[in-house]
Structure formats: structure tokens, C-alpha cells
Amino acid sequence: MEIKRFYAQKSDRVGSTFNIGGDEAHHMIRVLRYKVGYKIIVFDGTGYDYYCTIRELGKDYVIADIDEKVINDAEPKVYLRLFQGIAKSDKMDVIVQKAVELGVAEITPVITARSEKDLKLEKLEKVALSAAKQCGASRLTVINEPIYLSEIPFENLVIFANENEENRTLRDVTLGKCTKIDLVVGSEGGFTEDEGEELSQKGAVAVTLGKRILRAETAAIVLSSLILYKAGVI
């Protein structure tokens, strides 16, 4: 039987034992109907996979003993943050799921002139958790509270997917030794001209992803993938 992965808080580990509660425990107890002696892999965001054996199952908690601690090197060596104009809920789910699979470290929904109003953060956190478990991540992608476009920080290299950019492609962008890169992608409605100018003026590097207009979710996946390729991660 495939050994399934579960997420625990760092504080859930005491010595060589995990005491897991919440949704993850519920999943093991009620959904998967795990029993004492079952094997699980626990990750807690510290970069390790803990191979464990279940010692005890309560109504809402699972106690598991650590058999082995193994380094998980599935995290990309670049720290990517995706600033995503808020798209429709089902598209945001896709964006979060795919960004997590690719190894994006943080996703921040961005409120823009044409972004969607409705944002289900808790749902996105669930999507992120389940994607992290499925793909073998060792840390959880952080889903941040939404911010306004004007609040996007300019502390790292910021790359901005702009369908109005005619010349610059990612081939023209030098990542150098950057280990932290921020990506900005618009919602379905894209950015207004003013918003595009604001980003460029603050130092965002606008790139085209080709002559066709991609959907927001496609643009987010393509931009993240190409950056990882350029950074030598994939």
C-alpha cells in the first residue's frame, strides 16, 4: 500500500512522536479508517519527511511514532512568490494547485481594478495543502491575505506577465544569482494600462509569454514554469 503523506505543525512533534489533530487526523480516522500500526509520512515544513507508525488513534487525534527522518529535497532552490490578480474562484483553485505542484513558495491574491471580488482564502489553503501532500512537497505554500496592487513589495526581482509587452521575453531577462523572485500575473480581466505602468515604473520587468492571450491560470503556470527552467530547477 502506498504510504500517504500528512501535514503536521512543527509544534505537533514532541521528541520522536507526532500528535496530530485537526483535519489531517480527521482524514486518517474517519475517511481512511487507519488503524494502529499503519505507516504514514508526516511533513511539518522543516524540510524533512518523517516516516512514522501509528501508535494510537483517538476521536480527533492520531499519535504516531517516528521511525525514520529523511531529508526531502523537493523544494526548488529559488524562492518564488506569485502575486496573482484575483480570478474567478475555480480558476484560483487551479492556479494554487498548479503553483504548489511547481514549487511556488507563496501566493498572494492581488486586488486590481478588474479583479474578482469574491475570494475564498480558506478554500485556497485547503487546495494548497492537498496539492502539497499529493506532490511530495516538504513545506506548505503560504496563501497570504489579499493586498492591493500598490502594496506589492519591490524587494526582489519582480517579473510581470504583460500581454501588451511586445518585445521582452524571458530570454532577455537575466536571473543572475537571484534566489528570490516575485511573479505578477493579472486576473481574467488583466491589468489596466495605469496598473501596468505603475508596475513598470516601480521596477517590475514586463515580459510577453507569446503573441496569444493566455488565460490567467495558463499565464501563472507558464510563467512559474519558465522561471524555474531558467533558474535551473527543472
Q: Footprint of ligand SAH on this chain (CB under 6 A)?
A: 161-163, 185-186, 188-191, 208-210, 212-214, 216, 219
CB 112 within 8 A of CB 195: yes
**Which residues, in sequence order, are bridge partners of residue 42?**
6, 50
Q: How far apart are CA 175 and CA 170, in angstroms?
A: 10
Pick the closer one to ligand SAH by CB: 130 or 208: 208
Residue nearest to ligand SAH (CB): 186
As measured in angstroms, the least distance from the Cβ of 231 to ligand SAH is 19
- Residue 115: closest CA among 88, 82, 145: 88
Pick the closer one to ligand SAH by CB: 72 or 192: 192
Q: What are phi and psi of 190, to 5 degrees?
A: 70, -165
- Residue 160: closest CA among 97, 214, 204, 108: 204
As measured in angstroms, the least distance from the Cβ of 182 to ligand SAH is 13
As measured in angstroms, the least distance from the Cβ of 1 to ligand SAH is 41
Pick the closer one to ligand SAH by CB: 38 or 190: 190
Pick the closer one to ligand SAH by CB: 81 or 133: 81
